[in-house]
Amino acid sequence: MIKVNIICVGRLKDAFFEEAAKEYIKMLGSFCQIKITEINAANLPQEPSRAEIEKALMAEAKEILRKIPERSKTIALCIEGKQLSSEEFADLLEGCKSSGAGEISFIIGGSYGLADDIKKRADFRLSFSKMTFPHRLFRVMLLEQIYRAFSISAGGKYHK
């Protein structure tokens, strides 16, 4: 069974989103072993300078890189990534599974995104939309799409 890691900058604090995430994690149990790793967002002032933001992104990147398993296929979630249909996303995950990697790691950045080092390290850059979503909602959206992709690959009707 493939392992799926979701490495997130920041934590879920709202019970509603925590419950939604738990429900998808439970449903994903028949398709994969899933692990969520939360890392602390770097502290920034109210109105950070570009240099302060870059420094924070690099600090977060250092921690993210420590959490990515060595042989994992890595997918960075970023606005400049490629947008895929649910079926194309299912194909992407199938390709990761068939590569023999054994693990897929998704990286969700904080409010200022991801450092370039993380984007360069990624095997694939994925964008859900040109729109910006709140972190707590996006994690649930990612879990839902992973579940949908595995369902599609298994020939299920969930995606219809």
Residue 4 CA: distances (Å) to CA of 41, 46, 63, 102: 22, 34, 18, 9
Is residue 35, in this structure, part of any structural domain at all? yes
CATH of the domain at 80: 3.40.1280.10
The total number of residues shown for the chain amounts to 160
pLDDT tens for each residue of 101-148: 789 999 999 989 999 999 999 999 999 999 888 888 999 999 999 999
pLDDT at 159 over 60: no
pLDDT at 160 over 60: no
The tally of domains found in the chain comes to 1
Q: What is the pLDDT of residue 12?
A: 87
Instruction: Work out the burial of residue 37: count CB atoms within 10 Å of its CB; fewer than 13 is exposed, 13-18 middle, 19 or more buried.
Output: middle
- Nearest of 7, 5, 8 to residue 134 by alpha carbon: 8
pLDDT at 70 over 90: no
Is residue 48, in this structure, part of any structural domain at all? no
pLDDT at 4 over 90: yes
Q: What is the pLDDT of residue 158?
A: 63
Residues 63, 113 contacting (CB under 8 angstroms): no
Is residue 37, in this structure, part of any structural domain at all? yes
Q: What is the pLDDT of residue 157?
A: 73
Is residue 51, in this structure, part of any structural domain at all? no
Is residue 159, in this structure, part of any structural domain at all? no
107 is written with which tokens? 């990286």
Label residue 151 by pLDDT band (50, 70, 90).
very high
Span 63-68, mean pLDDT? 96
pTM: predicted TM-score of the whole model, two decimal places: 0.94
Is residue 115, in this structure, part of any structural domain at all? yes
Is residue 90, in this structure, part of any structural domain at all? yes
Structural domain boundaries, residue 8: 3-43+57-153
Is residue 24, in this structure, part of any structural domain at all? yes
